[in-house]
Amino acid sequence: MDLPCRTAAPRESLRERRRRETRDELHAAALRLSRELGFEQVTVEMISEEAGVSPRTFFNYFPSKESALLTWPASFTPEARARFLAAPARDTRSVLRDVGELFASYLEASPPRRDEVEEVFRIAERTPSVLAAVLAGFDALERELGALVAERTGRGTGDRTADLVSGVSMAAVRVAMRRWAQDHGCEQPAPEFVRESFALLKDLTSPLEEAATASS
C-alpha cells in the first residue's frame, strides 16, 4: 500500500469551526424542512431563517437550496491530494487501488450519516433538480480526480486513460454509496463498501473470473 488507511484530523481554528458549524446547521435545516414540507416547497429564505442566518450568509456557503441538501460528495483535502500525488506507482492498477484508498480515507475522516445519504438519494429519485445536483457533484469530483490521476501518472490533463481511471473509480464509488445507504441490516461502515467496490472492479475484466463463472 502506498497510502496510509487513516487521515489524521487536522487541528481546526475557531473560525474554521464556526464556518463548519454554520454549514452543518444550514444543511440540517434544509433536510429538516424538506422532510416536513417536501423539498419543492422549501426556499432559501426558509432554510436561512430556520438556521438563524440571513439569505446573504446562506449564499456564502451554498449556491442553491439543492446544494445545501448535498454536503456529499465534496472535494479532497489538500493533504489527501498531496499524499495521493506523492505515491510512486504510476501504473493504472496501482493508481486505481490508491484512488479507492483516497475515497475510503476521505469517508473515514468525515463519515457521512447513512440515514441522511439515503434520504437525499430518495429525494433525488423524485426531484429532477436534486438528481441533477447529485450528478453534477459526482461529475465535478470526477473531473478533479481525472486531473489528479493525470498528474500522478505523468499524463496530460484530459488524457484518455486518466479520464477512464477517474470515470471507472466514480462508478465504483457511486455503486458503493448507493448500496451502503440502502443497507439497513448491517453496520458495515461506508469505507468498507468503497473498498469492496474497488476490489470487485479489479475482477471485472479478469480472465480468471471467466473460468470461475463458467464452472459455477
Is position 187 an interface residue for a second copy (rule: CB under 8 A)? Answer: no
**Which of residues 172, 177, 181, 194 is near a second copy by CB under 8 A?**
172
DSSP code, position 185? S
Query: Is the CB of residue 170 less than 8 Å from the CB of residue 142?
Result: yes
- Of these, 163, 181, 190, 195, which contacts a second copy (CB under 8 A)? 163
Question: Would you give the binding string for a second copy spanning residues 22-61, x where CB under 8 A is met?
Answer: ----------------------------------------
Q: Which stretch binds a second copy (CB under 8 A): 42-50, 99-107, 108-116, 167-175?
A: 167-175
Residue numbers 55-94 binding a second copy by CB under 8 A: 89-94
- Whose cell is 436561512? That residue is 48
SS3 of 184, please? coil
Residue 92 phi/psi, 5° resolution? -65, -30
Q: Give the nearer residue to a second copy in terms of CB position, either 51 or 162.
A: 162
User: Site for a second copy (CB under 8 A): which residue of 109, 167, 189, 192?
Assistant: 167
Using CB under 8 A as the binding criterion, the count of chain residues that bind a second copy stands at 43
CA distances for 124 relative to 40, 66, 133, angstroms: 12, 10, 9
How many Å apart are CA 62 and CA 71, to the nearest integer?
A: 9
- Nearer of residues 86 and 136 to a second copy, judged by Cβ: 136
Selection from 46, 190, 21, 169 nearest residue 118 by Cα? 190
Q: Which residues of 47-86 are buried (b: 16+ CB within 10 A; e: fewer)?
A: bbebbebeeeebeebbeebbbbbbbbbeebeeebbebbee
Site for a second copy in 119-158 (CB under 8 A): 128-129, 131-133, 135-136, 139
The residue (of 36 and 125) whose beta carbon lies closer to a second copy is: 125
Task: Give min distance, CB of 131 to a second copy, in A.
Answer: 6
Query: Can residue 115 be called a binding residue for a second copy (CB under 8 A)?
Result: no
Q: Which of 34, 48, 71, 197 binds a second copy (CB under 8 A)?
A: 197
Cell of 215: 464452472
Closest Cα partner for 166 from 182, 185, 144? 144
Binding site for a second copy (CB under 8 A): 89-94, 96, 128-129, 131-133, 135-136, 139, 160-161, 163-165, 167-168, 170-172, 174-175, 178-179, 197, 200-207, 209-210, 212-214
